[in-house]
Amino acid sequence: MGLRAYILKRILYTFVLVYFVITINFFIFILMPGDPVLILASQMRLKKPEMIEAVKEAFGLDQPLHVRYIKYVANMLTGQFGYSYVTRRPVVEEIGIRLQNTLVLCIPPEIFSVIIGTILGVIAVDRRGKLIDSVSVVFSLITYSLPVYWMGMQFILVFAYQLHWFPPSHTIPDYWRYMPPKTIWEDWGTRLHHLVLPWTTLFLWSYGGYLLLTRASMLECITEDYVVTARAKGLKERTVLFKHALKNASLPIITEAAIWFGFMLAGAIITEQVFVYPGLGWWIWQAIERRDYPALQAIFYIIAICVIAANFIADLLYGVVDPRVKYG
């Protein structure tokens, strides 16, 4: 099977998988305990039966299950996610408001985690058994094992409240409501100042996983015949490690990175709670507390789509990175 046939086959599988995701997402919230109509009526302080019936009709909850299912599938495929039970605003708008904050929070530390974790993993393999290998492995195990909320709170305690180097929370200062920034440099500089602690927390929590994964994958490759042959040809050790061994050991790293980027739209839920960061993770937590089912259905569906797309891209990258991978 060639690459073109493989892509077409995967696209067909992807559409089938998306349909199953939509179906499961629909019935999960149908089977959840509690009546969403009564919850919504309680939030709106509606007690009269005719008012409750009006709420059912407004949100389409008075229709038969099969009709709701068909409309739900059509709405998910066309990006019509309905209205939030809490804010009464379109869910698409609610996602759009917080999407930028989530991307700014999650992408930079993850990119640095992949790059630095991979490089340090290769160095640890090159110096295996020595002090730098032991220190890097122990430190990465510690940061990878510590709860992310604990690290975040410690950073806030030390660097925000004791040293006063960085702000403890939010994306912008509170006084900007009355005194907005005068220049773009002040705007960007202040926003970056607020991001230092959450970025550092996410980086320290995630880079260790890539270091350990790279080290484990590299240890399986450095004894292979092609690596021994490359060394016998007189190639530099750096070339042998990064161009030959790492290239063929990178498949697990690609898989791990693809899965993480797929879940990226979920935001860093715990980190956003610690730093009171108004991203999608913080919004998801609020939606769970308030049982905002339309918001949760939409974000779960989008996360699933991102994971499917990320794995599809990872499968294509396998053949580019590792020539041993055959599409068939």
The pLDDT of 269-293, averaged and rounded, is 85
- The predicted model gives 92-112 an average pLDDT of 88
> From the CB of residue 57, how many other CB atoms can be counted at a distance below 10 Å?
11
Region 46-65: mean pLDDT is 69
Local confidence band at 8 (pLDDT 50, 70, 90 cut-offs): confident
* Greatest extent of the chain over all pairs of C-alpha atoms, in Å: 85
Residue 156 CA to residue 163 CA, distance in Å, equals 10
pLDDT score of 165: 93
Do residues 266 and 296 make contact, with C-beta atoms less than 8 angstroms apart? no
Across residues 137-158, what is the average pLDDT?
A: 90
Domain locations along the chain? 3-78, 97-321
Which tokens belong to 167? 């702000």
Indicate the average pLDDT of the chain. 82
Highest mean pLDDT: which of 49-58, 111-120, 266-275?
Answer: 111-120
The residue that leads in pLDDT, 178 or 71, is 71
What average pLDDT does the segment 167-190 reach? 81
- Residue 99 confidence (pLDDT): 85
Rg (the chain; Cα; Å): 24
Confidence band of 11 (pLDDT split at 50, 70, 90): confident
CB atoms within 10 A of CB 81: 21
Q: Is residue 251 within 8 Å of 259, Cβ to Cβ?
A: no
Chain segment 182-207, per-residue pLDDT in tens: 788 888 888 899 999 999 999 998 88
Tell me how long the chain is.
328
d(CA 212, CA 268): 22
User: Structure pTM?
Assistant: 0.80
Question: According to the model, what pLDDT value does residue 232 have?
Answer: 82
SS3 letters for the chain?
Answer: CCHHHHHHHHHHHHHHHHHHHHHHHHHHHHHCCCCHHHHHHHHCCCCCHHHHHHHHHHCCCCCCHHHHHHHHHHHHHHCCCCECCCCCCEHHHHHHHHHHHHHHHHHHHHHHHHHHHHHHHHHHHHCCCCHHHHHHHHHHHHHHHCCHHHHHHHHHHHHHHHCCCCCCCCCCCHHHHCCCCCCHHHHHHHHHHHHHHHHHHHHHHHHHHHHHHHHHHHHHHCCCHHHHHHHHCCCCHHHHHHHHHHHHHCHHHHHHHHHHHHCHHHCCHHHHHHCCCCCHHHHHHHHHHHCCHHHHHHHHHHHHHHHHHHHHHHHHHHHHHCCCCCCC
Percent of the chain exceeding pLDDT 90 equals 13
CATH number 1.10.3720.10 given to 97-321: yes
The distance in angstroms from the start CA to the end CA of the chain is 5
107: Cβ–Cβ under 8 A, 6 or more apart, which residues? 264
